[in-house]
Amino acid sequence: MNGTTSGVDRRRFLGAAAAALGAAALPAWSRPRRTEPLFSISLAQWSLHRTLRAGGLTTLDFPRVARRFGVSAVEYVNTFWQDKAADAEFLRELKQRCDGEGVRSLLIMCDAEGALGDPNEKARAKAVANHHRWVEAAKALGCHAIRVNAQSAGTAEEQRKLAADGLRALCEFADPLGIDVLVENHGGLSSNGAWLRDTLRAVEHRRIGSLPDFGNFRIADGEDYDRYRGVDELMPLARAVSAKSHDFDDQGFEVHTDYRRMLELVVVRHGYHGHIGIEYEGDKLPEPAGIAATRTLLERVRDELAARPAPKADTGEAPR
């Protein structure tokens, strides 16, 4: 990220992005787009993690790249600019680039800052403090939230209490800044939808919420949680949604997640109409092609859902 990146390499990447987008832009089933879509589409920075790690792009390039994919909202990953969270000049430049491209910053996904549910009280407090700079960076960029993890240790009940304690402390810091604290299903007990739902309820703070991810339901090696059940359990608390994708069949459908079934849960059953973030993580397609394929699939199913009569939404109990 901090190395020198050649302009030629960046132009090649942007050219590949444009080509991938063009190939996906006019599917046979396309129809005029609704003035008010059922949901908006954003781009998670993780979708470009290989290119970023290889030095082919920087975080400052990200808003421009998002625009090349026809996306006007982005979700950052803190590990790609770990040393820039408190860099006021960097944050101003990133915000200016977003404004120049007409791109909205939605949230920052935060990892590698310690366990918010650490059994050691001092370590837990340190983890909370480590996240403060990301709350402040989110505020500076105009984001509405940061995404964190509910990592802990012990029995399920012990982990619930510990994680809720750390999350509440972080919410109390974020509240005056108007930033929400969202927790993703991201391995361990957090990939158990019922456990995470109950943990977030135990926080008892208006800033807490969930970020359901379509694919992160691996509790441990060989132990998966049903992804549709998990998303259903987390949606009443959702303030963002991540459309994880890996592989696609020859009809353009994701092979691990039934997007029709998943989006019907998210949009129809729970009445969610916010942003759904593209998070391509596969390795069979180049990143530009994987991003374009995910966007196309989201638009395809969105069009299908929009053509249906609208049933009453089950909006759940999102705390505000």
In a domain, 27, yes or no: no
The verdict on residue 15 lying in a domain is no
What is the spatial distance between Cα 283 and Cα 260, in angstroms, rounded to a whole number? Answer: 23
Identify whether 193 is part of a domain.
Answer: yes
Query: Contact, 282 vs 254, CB < 8 A?
Result: no
Q: For residue 11, tell me if it sits in a domain.
A: no
Q: Which residue has the higher pLDDT, 187 or 11?
A: 187
Residue 16 within a domain:
no
Q: What is the mean pLDDT of residues 103-115?
A: 98
Is a pLDDT exceeding 70 seen at residue 132? yes
Q: Does residue 34 carry a pLDDT above 50?
A: no
Average pLDDT over residues 38-65: 97
| Mean pLDDT for the chain overall | 91
| Domain of residue 53, residue span | 35-306
pLDDT at 12: 60
For residues 191 and 310, which has the higher predicted lDDT (pLDDT)?
A: 191
Q: How confident is the model over 276-287, as pLDDT tens digits?
A: 999 999 999 999
> For residue range 76-106, what is the model confidence (pLDDT) as tens digits?
999 999 999 999 999 999 999 999 999 999 9
**Position 13 confidence tier, pLDDT thresholds 50, 70, 90:** low
Here the CATH number for the domain that contains residue 294 is: 3.20.20.150
pTM: 0.87
249 in a domain, yes or no?
yes
Total domains, the chain = 1
pLDDT digits (tens, 9 = 90+) for 140-181: 999 999 999 999 999 999 999 999 999 999 999 999 999 999
Residue 4 forms part of a structural domain: no
Q: Is residue 166 in a domain?
A: yes
